[in-house]
Chain A
Amino acid sequence: MKKAKATNPICIRELRIMIIKHPLLGPRDSSEFVYKGDASLLDRPKWNGQKSEKKFYEYGYLRKNPAGSHRELWYHEQGDRSWLVVTRNTISHEIEKVELARDIARKKKAKAK
Chain B
Amino acid sequence: MHKLKLQKESFLGGFSKTINNVSVKEIIDHRITSLAIPLTSEKKCASEFKKIFKKLMPEIEKSLSISQGNVIFRLASDLLFLCENSNKKLSKATFDLLKRSFYSTDQSGGWCCLQVSGNNVLNMLERICPLDLAEERFKTLDVRRTSMEHLGVIIFKKSPKEFLLYSASSSSKSFLHAVETSCKNL
Contact = CB atoms under 8 A, between A and B. Distances in A.
A80 B77 contact: yes
B69 interface: no
B79 A31 contact: no
Interface in B133-186: 144-147, 152
A87 B166 CA distance: 33
A79 B131 CA distance: 11
Interface in A80-95: 80-82
Contact of A80 (B75, B130, B132, B147): B75
Given A25-B60, A25-B61, A29-B130, A78 B75 contact: no
A80 B76 contact: yes
B101 to A, nearest CB: 20
B63 to A, nearest CB: 15
A60 to B, nearest CB: 28
Interface residues of B, number: 14
Contacts, number: 36
Given A25-B60, A25-B61, A32 B146 contact: yes
Interface residues of A, number: 13
A24 interface: yes
Given A29-B130, A32-B146, A32-B147, A78 B152 contact: yes
B61 to A, nearest CB: 6
B107 to A, nearest CB: 15
Interface string A18-47: 000000110111011000000000000000
B60 A78 contact: no
A98 to B, nearest CB: 15
B145 A24 contact: no
A80 B152 contact: no
A78 B76 contact: no
Contacts of B132: 27
Contacts of A25: 60-61, 144
A4 B145 CA distance: 51
Contacts of B60: 24-25, 80
A59 B145 CA distance: 33
A100 B131 CA distance: 21
Given A25-B60, A78-B147, A79-B144, 8 more contacts: A25-B61, A28-B130, A28-B146, A31-B130, A32-B146, A78-B152, A80-B79, A81-B79
22 contacts: A24-B60, A24-B77, A25-B60, A25-B61, A25-B144, A27-B132, A28-B131, A28-B146, A29-B146, A31-B130, A32-B130, A32-B147, A77-B152, A78-B146, A79-B76, A79-B145, A80-B75, A80-B76, A80-B77, A80-B145, A81-B76, A82-B76
